[in-house]
Amino acid sequence: MEFTAQQIAHLISGQVEGDAGAKVNSVAKIEEGKPGALSFLANPKYTSYIYETNSSVVIVNNDFVAERPVKATLIRVADAYTAFARLLELYNKTADNKMGISSMAFISPTAKLSDDVYVGEFAVVGERAVIGKGVKIYPQVFVGDDCVVDEGTILYPGVKLYAGTQVGKRCIIHAGVVAGSDGFGFAPQADGTYNKVPQTGNVVIEDDVEIGANTTIDRATLGSTIIRRGVKLDNLIQIAHNVEVGEHTVIAAQTGISGSTRLGARCMIGGQVGFAGHLTIADETKLGAQSGVGSNIKEKGQLLIGTPAIPIGDFKRVHVHFKNLDEMAKRLRQLEERLNQLDAGNGGAA
């Protein structure tokens, strides 16, 4: 498809600076621009490329000031990154407008599906499941008995929703996600064996959540494991039974959250962070990558890092000493040797 700069500006409420009729039919990073491509400039680190790029149209922030001539047509907007993301979203909706139910899908007679859903090959929709308007269920997805998938949600290939899982509106769940598998609950016995504790709850995923590939969310022992609205989860995350993730929290890959921990709203969690169980994490907490959290975080808005996680300022001061430990150990040995020599010179007298 081909669009003019003016058409694009209309879609993102921007102002054209240059040739309003400039045409684009592809997108490219600004440093890899070519004729007919649309790019954007949001990070100041890439500013130099705007003077060199071959892209035909570039989206920039309103406050961008050119220091020398720019050959590309510019579209000025309040936030170039958000505007470009909006365009990509519109493109994906146009390019990926699948409809209809494959003859090779299995739909339970007791399931309820809206007329405009898409269900791909070898997908399974179980008994009493409810599938809302505009939902897209890609091939090899499993939607278990009594599941609810609300309008506009996308389930990419290989997603598995165990029985009773509830998914809200406009969610995006990527390939390989498993929601509703049993929590890791085992009761130790006197003879050293373990008895499985039945997991009878479910998983609730609220509106506008995105879950990355191969992330797993365990069903609750009792009640629900809850992913609140607006949460964004990266790939390869483990969320245990009865966890609650607060609204608009973002979590990077390979993070693990143990059972019954509650994360507050608008938290930012780096990659490979580990949480012990039964913790409460305050709103707007930020945790650096590979942090280990073993106790409650009560104060809102803290930035912490390390294992155990401590405030970033304390961590930096401790890290300075940690880097010098080898030198400090050498100096300590030298001092001990000197003291021993002085003690020997005094005939061992105190």
Give the CA radius of gyration of the chain.
28
Q: Does residue 241 have an active-site annotation?
A: yes
pLDDT mean for each 10 residues of the chain (350 residues) = 94 96 95 97 96 97 96 97 92 80 97 95 98 97 98 97 98 98 96 96 98 98 98 98 98 98 98 98 98 98 96 87 86 91 73
pLDDT at 319: 81
List the beta bridge partners of residue 160.
142, 178
The C-alpha angle 345, 346, 350, rounded to 5 degrees, equals 135
Regarding pTM above 0.85, the answer is no
pLDDT at 97: 79
Helix (H) or strand (E) holding 2: none
Neighbours of 346 (CB within 10 A): 9
- Is residue 23 classed exposed, middle or buried when 0-12, 13-18 and 19+ CB atoms within 10 A define those classes? middle
Task: Provide the token pair at 103.
Answer: 């003859």
The C-alpha angle 155, 233, 286, rounded to 5 degrees, equals 165
The C-alpha atoms of residue 35 and residue 33 are separated, in whole angstroms, by: 7
**Torsion-angle region of 7 (φ positive above 0: left; ψ -120 to 50: alpha; else: beta):** alpha
Would you give the end-to-end CA distance of the chain in angstroms?
91
Neighbours of 137 (CB within 10 A): 30
The DSSP line for 242-264 is: T-EE-TT-EE-TT-EE-TT-EE-
The C-alpha atoms of residue 203 and residue 218 are separated, in whole angstroms, by: 7
Tell whether omega for the bond before 157 is within 30 degrees of 0, i.e. cis. Answer: no
281 contacts 261 by C-beta, under 8 angstroms: yes
The DSSP line for 202-229 is: EEEE-TT-EE-TT-EEEPPSSSEEEE-T
**Catalytic member of 174, 241, 248, 321:** 241
Per-residue pLDDT tens digits for 76-86: 999 999 999 99
